[in-house]
Amino acid sequence: MVHIEESLQVPRDFEGFGEEGFDPQWPNGARIAVSFVLNYEWRALRAGRRRPLGALPLEKGASGGHKEGARYLNAEHDFEYGSRTASWRILRLFKEFGWNFTTYAVAVALQKNPKFAKALVREGHEIAAHGLRWKDTWDYTLEEDKGEVSGEMPVGAYFGRGTPQTHMLFPEVWKSVGAEFLWSSECYNDDVPYWLDLPQERDLPDGEKKGLLLIPYNYDCNDGKFHMSPGFGSSVAETYEQYLKNTFDCLYREGGKLMNIPLHTRIIGKPGRSEALRKFMRYVADKPGVWVTTRREIARHMHAKFPYKPDGAWMEGVGK
């Protein structure tokens, strides 16, 4: 059963920035910020687990099957391909363009490939928290939720499998261990970053409130849709490439927007798909006024350019 902590809930907002919109004023007059996000995950099959590894979206699709309470090598090797081979292909690809990405890293997964972890740091890529283990936590109690959040200490986090209050707890847990917390991506409702008033700070003096910076994420550009229905089709990389271009063109024309490109080593790292990604990257590289960056840098820009003020006051005097 899902635990809902009423004191940590925020009201839904159907208006957002309205007709006027919000221009984040990206550095150097860039028209668009592009954030590539590499999801680095790992699944282990243990007897009695609620969701068998083979039941996940994999290369064999609906014919993949699964085994209850036993190892399923077909599925295991899907994930190992991402770790052993695809991770290095993706690293080479981004080095070719001189761009950095944010890694949504499951801590246990990265621990199992320390050479890749060190390479990420060496190349300047951001490592963000994606949980200690890759598992559903939607039914955690409040105390269990806090314990899971403390699995990693980067400056940003995205779980995607949390409770209705997981993202409200990020700042609290980071603060408890003396770590800096800059951003959360536990939202999908806009094309620009924005500040959120934290419900647990409602009774504090305004000068003591910190707020929470949300950098929206998405699913529509997610390479996971190669394994989903409806999706890009497991062998039609050009469909994926064209969708990314269409998304980029729209946001680039509008200006002042953020484009998310969610990736997974085991999916986009396949040769046929990585080549489609490379074609899209070349397309972007030829356009002026594009800021390809990490979520950490987006957060630093927002903290500096639009520092938090309660009750939407950070937006005063700001418009399109």
Would 2 be classed as within a structural domain? no
- pLDDT tens string, the chain, 320 residues long: the values are 666 776 667 778 888 899 989 999 999 999 999 999 999 876 544 434 445 444 466 776 655 566 666 677 777 888 889 889 999 999 999 999 999 999 998 877 888 888 998 899 899 999 998 665 544 443 334 343 333 432 335 899 888 766 777 777 888 878 887 889 999 999 999 999 999 999 888 899 999 999 999 999 999 999 988 887 777 776 678 899 999 999 999 999 999 999 999 999 999 999 999 999 999 999 999 999 999 999 999 999 999 999 999 999 998 866 44
Q: Is residue 7 part of a domain?
A: no
Task: Name every residue whose Cβ is closer than 8 Å to that of residue 313 and which is 6 or more positions away in sequence.
Answer: none
CATH number of residue 213's parent domain:
3.20.20.370
Sign, Cα dihedral of 120, 121, 125, 127: positive
Does residue 1 lie within any of the structural domains?
no
> Sign (positive/negative) of CA torsion 248, 244, 84, 159?
positive
Residue 304 structural domain: 20-315
In a domain, 206, yes or no: yes
pLDDT at position 280, please?
98
Nearest of 232, 290, 316 to residue 36 by alpha carbon = 290
pLDDT of residue 33: 98
Q: Look at the chain and report how many structural domains it folds into.
A: 1
Residue with tokens 């190892």: 71
What is d(CA 23, CA 34) in angstroms, rounded to the nearest whole number? 15
For residue 55, the tally of other CB atoms under 10 A from its CB is 16
Q: Using CA atoms, how far apart are residues 167 and 212, in angstroms rounded to an integer?
A: 9
Instruction: Return the closest-CA partner of residue 194 out of 298, 294, 104.
Output: 298
